[in-house]
Amino acid sequence: MKKGIIGFGDMGKSLTTGLIKGGTAKEDIVVYDMNQRAVDRAVAMGIDAKEIKDLVACSDVIIFAIPKQPFVDMDMSQYDFDGKIIISCMAEVKMDALKQKFPTQQVVRVIPTLAAENGVSIVGVCFDGEADNKEEIKAMFRKVGTIIECEESELTSLTALAACGLCYAAYILNCFINTAENLGIDREVGQEIVEKTFKSAMEMGDYELLLGKIAGRGGITITGVNVMNEANVHKSIDIAFKTAYSAFLK
């Protein structure tokens, strides 16, 4: 299927890069962006860039990766979407709003993260009823990560946990690396230590058990855990996710 991607900002570029790394031919992707610098980036990657009308005409799948307001303002009546599959990567645009724009087209909501670029995204997928090409669409996005098919009511929670969580994870990692510098460790060395430490914890799997094994023995580790508990670090993380979740609902 020829894929037309409207929007070549961070999400559009990450998705395009991940699809190509996953085996999609560059010739099967065409992009549009109103920003000439974004267009230049696409062309530099060997991706064809077209105006929206031409993109729609030559594509089987139209992927929207633009902010909510430009999508709302877009006049779809001037383009022929007949027979096209519409895929929205716009977290803030709900299925009802998509169906108002595309009442006769097959519509799919797909929410990847910027980790799509490296093929390790969590990808929430919500179909509008019984999709004719469900498996083909899921296979397309498996190129950029792990598919989680869900109801639209679950998609907001998944987006908050996966998409916002990617940023929050980067925030926490950066805090650790900054602390390494404060302890007198070279930043590059500190980053390597932090990344391998997090990877080790992930590979051990049972985080509560690991916490008990290390901090439960007393000593210096538990003193640090106590500081984090007293500062309500766990509560701050919970509030951050719930705040993001509430923002999506507005």
According to the model, what pLDDT value does residue 27 have?
95
Task: Residue 233: count other Cβ atoms within 10 Å of its Cβ.
Answer: 13
Q: Does 145 share its domain with 165?
A: no
- The answer to whether 89 touches 68, Cβ cutoff 8 Å, is no
According to the model, what pLDDT value does residue 208 have?
87
Q: Does 138 share its domain with 205?
A: no
- How many whole angstroms separate alpha carbon 223 and alpha carbon 216? 11
- How many whole angstroms separate alpha carbon 119 and alpha carbon 104? 32
According to the model, what pLDDT value does residue 108 have?
95
Q: Does 100 share its domain with 174?
A: no
By DSSP bridging, strand 85-88 and strand 61-64 are: parallel
- Could you read off the pLDDT of 146-199 as tens digits, one per residue? 999 999 989 989 888 998 999 999 999 999 999 999 999 999 999 999 999 999
- How many whole angstroms separate alpha carbon 143 and alpha carbon 65? 17
Nearest alpha-carbon partner for 248 in 161, 156, 168: 156
Q: Does 228 share its domain with 105?
A: no
How is residue 128 written in tokens?
Answer: 């509008």
According to the model, what pLDDT value does residue 218 have?
65
Q: Structure pTM?
A: 0.83
Domain that holds residue 136: 3-149
Q: How many domains in the chain?
A: 2
Q: Does 48 share its domain with 132?
A: yes
According to the model, what pLDDT value does residue 35 have?
94
Q: Does 178 share its domain with 138?
A: no
Q: Is residue 75 part of a domain?
A: yes
- Could you read off the pLDDT of 13-29 as tens digits, one per residue? 999 999 999 999 999 99
Q: Does 46 share its domain with 165?
A: no
Q: Is residue 67 part of a domain?
A: yes
> In a structure prediction context, what are the per-residue pLDDT tens digits for the chain, which is 250 residues long?
899 999 999 999 999 999 999 999 999 999 999 999 999 999 999 999 999 999 999 999 999 999 999 999 999 888 999 999 999 999 889 999 999 999 989 999 999 999 999 999 999 999 987 777 899 999 999 999 999 999 998 998 988 899 899 999 999 999 999 999 999 999 999 999 999 999 999 998 888 888 888 876 667 888 898 999 999 999 999 999 999 888 877 6
Cα distances (Å, whole numbers) of residue 89 to 75, 84, 173: 18, 16, 27
According to the model, what pLDDT value does residue 205 have?
83
Residue 78: give its domain's CATH number. 3.40.50.720
